[in-house]
Structure 1
């Protein structure tokens, strides 16, 4: 073998061994690598911003026409920005997108002893919109020459993120022009096993081994074809990561599932005056579909969309339908 070929072969072997050592030490890097692949497929870019005392990680797309609405997407409990990527991929050419990891979750900063319940997170999201989303929206309108007119910000929230979005839309109407709640938490829905387990003090989403990982996925998804395939060793990395999150998840559940603010989003919904969307999966085992009518009683202006063959992860199981519903909210919803 010639010297150059020997050097190249040695470099390749060293690189492979290095990657293997990293994976062996922390197989969760495989999950992160898959997240990066999904981000690129969706056509999103990664960024960070410091807002108040938290560093936010977020994905964004800016290739929509000037003046297009800015859509902010909030994930749910145990989730992350990646949950929104299937919908984002379908919307990115029409609207400018901001898809953050909520503080405490994903790649965003978590601080010891900080409050990550509905009210505290709603204040943080309001700051994110004010400092990141609103300037983008207004700049787009200014670029079109419409002086004195502000751009639109559309706030979408899934599950816990839906509860947070309801509080933001109700408490900061000057920041949010339209709001979409998908499988949102925060109302006293019809009893199901998930809700009973939360009230009993457990975390039905807790993952500690392969069996509880399967249970977690089975609770979230209805369609078998939509359930993520997580091969070893990525699965072991995910299980280890979720074990590390157990205490934090219980702390958050004390706020949003068992504490005095657990129904705050439903109460706030009565103050939402913006055009609104309520979207649920008919087979949701987490937030029973009865919740859609409970929110609708407080938000008579909202359009209701109930998707068949979809569970709690409607935005992943039925991304075409979810994206179409969001487009309907933006294009047909009556402005205030």
Structure 2
């Protein structure tokens, strides 16, 4: 290539890059939330996940899924793991754990009805009991021929406890991660809930930062949401405030609030209880309360992480889940 042609090629490449940057900048200016969506898509691809939809229990569910590796004749018999997120959470919360688990199992991570991309219907109940029945219907839709390994985090843990107790045919093993649903030792979060507040409420970038700092202990695990995306996320969360308050009234202040702990006594399946010692949301004392009701459960207390064990310590959580699947023994 001559010097003139080389210069033309470089100038063309630079011009093309400039156009791409201008178009991308304009798109981000119109919708800064694209930064968050792009990061979620990157994490999903890194974990080998694909997006799917299904109708179950009168709702449209959106879920992420990865099939097990097809490396042997019994691939179709490999366990199915269904993961249920917590209050203000979404399927994306499970992506670090999904990545750590590898491709040994089929993984299914839904947005609960009312949350994330799944359908929300005005006037519907999205408390512990109603959601546990919907989760059972979802399991029948995505795994009709066999029980699943059902994992739940935070509010999702309370939902999972009820599902495992009331729908034993759908659940072969159960894991509760930093689970709500028992009267744990008083902490600031619990006191605020009992006082009628929403400790997770977000209405500006500063409160978004406080929310992240509350649920995470490990600095490197905290999601990075730069301005102006942080302002967009804060405004979106502010619009969710009425729904969040209604759900919190059901799971934190109604006669449902301790039903998961009561239901845990009826769980007969192999089980895992996993907490983080620095959890500032569901106090670690909750592990002992669940353990007293589930003597068959393996108990794992991780140090150096907060409420988001599944994101802060995914390798440790993945090891515990693998142990549950391979060595769990029913009582």
TM, length-normalised to structure 2: 0.91
> Within 2, Cα distance between the matches of 1:162 and 1:216?
20
1:289 to 278, 284, 293: 284
> Within 2, Cα distance between the matches of 1:54 and 1:7?
50
Determine if the alignment matches structure 1 residue 112 to structure 2 residue 102: no
How many residues align? The count is 321
60-69 or 200-209, which deviates more? 60-69
Shift of 1:232: 1.5
2:92 to 72, 79, 82: 82
1:212 to 207, 213, 221: 207
Aligned pairs for 1:117-156 within 5 A: 117-133=127-143, 135=144, 138=145, 151-156=146-151
Shift of 1:16: 5.1
TM, length-normalised to structure 1: 0.90
User: Which ranges in structure 2 are unaligned for 5 or more consecutive residues?
Assistant: 1-9, 70-74
**Alpha-carbon distance change, 6 to 283 in structure 1, aligned in 2, over 3 angstroms:** closer
Shift of 1:116: 0.6
2:155 to 153, 160, 169: 160
**Alpha-carbon distance change, 8 to 310 in structure 1, aligned in 2, over 3 angstroms:** closer
CA shift digits 1:39-77 (9 cap, x unpaired): 001111111111232111100011333211000000000
Q: Detail structure 1 runs of 4+ shifted over 3 Å in the superposition.
A: 5-22
2:232 to 234, 237, 240: 237
175-184 or 236-245, which deviates more? 236-245
> Within 2, Cα distance between the matches of 1:51 and 1:312?
29
Match of 1:46 in 2: 51
Shift of 1:124: 0.6
Match of 1:145 in 2: none
RMSD of aligned Cα (Å): 2.2
> Within 2, Cα distance between the matches of 1:69 and 1:32?
30
> Within 1, Cα distance between the matches of 2:190 and 2:251?
12
Match of 2:61 in 1: 56
Paired residue secondary structure (2:249):
helix
